[in-house]
Amino acid sequence: MSRSYPRHILAIDPGTEAAGWCRLEVPTPGTWSVRGMGAILLPAGQLYRRLAHLQEKLEPIIADAKTLFCECVVERPFVNKNFMATLAIAGARGVVLALMGRANLRFTEYSPQTWKQVIGNGRADKPEVAYKIGRILKLPSTPSFDQADAAAMALYHATRPDDDA
């Protein structure tokens, strides 16, 4: 399957304290530029309030992605040592996927060990990912951990061969 260019990729790293997002434009194979990046900080308190805040803040980002026919990327869930944290992250991921589904956007998911390969180390810690992504994307400053994870997912997706589409 051959891809058409330019491509637009929206990656979201859902969390319970913050959700990172990054939108890359890929004009031609091997070239990219950041077209938007941020972290949605979620308020302390009840999980349902945090998820409602996440939905509210993500809606315009997803609406923008829909107008660009973005390919979407979300981190594949993993089981944390703290099962309650795992369940809360699953709730945030559910909000993300529901918004993508409502916008009729397809998504791909990658495990952290997979998308971290874009920086050369599938077991990299958050500071290493943030530092290397900042350098690879030529960002003016090191992104937050949440932003960096989303940017790394987007970049990993952008560099996948056509037959992985």
Q: For 51-55, what is the mean pLDDT?
A: 97
For 48: left if phi > 0, alpha if psi spans -120 to 50, otherwise beta; the answer is: alpha
pLDDT band at 46 (very low <50, low <70, confident <90, very high): very high
**pTM passes above 0.75:** yes
Rounded to an integer, the average pLDDT of 13-21 is 94
Q: What is the mean pLDDT of residues 43-66?
A: 96
Residues of the chain above pLDDT 70, percent: 96
Confidence band for 53, pLDDT divided at 50, 70 and 90: very high
Average pLDDT, the chain: 93
Q: What is the model's pLDDT at position 56?
A: 98
Where do the domains of the chain lie, and which CATH numbers do they carry? Answer: 7-164 (3.30.420.10)
pLDDT at 86 over 60: yes
Structure tokens at 62: 């997803």
pLDDT, one tens digit per residue, over 95-112 is 999 999 999 999 999 999
**Are 54 and 42 spatial neighbours (Cβ–Cβ below 8 Å)?**
yes
**Would you please indicate which residues are annotated as catalytic (active-site) residues?**
13, 75, 146
Locate the DSSP E strands across 42-139: 71-75, 107-110
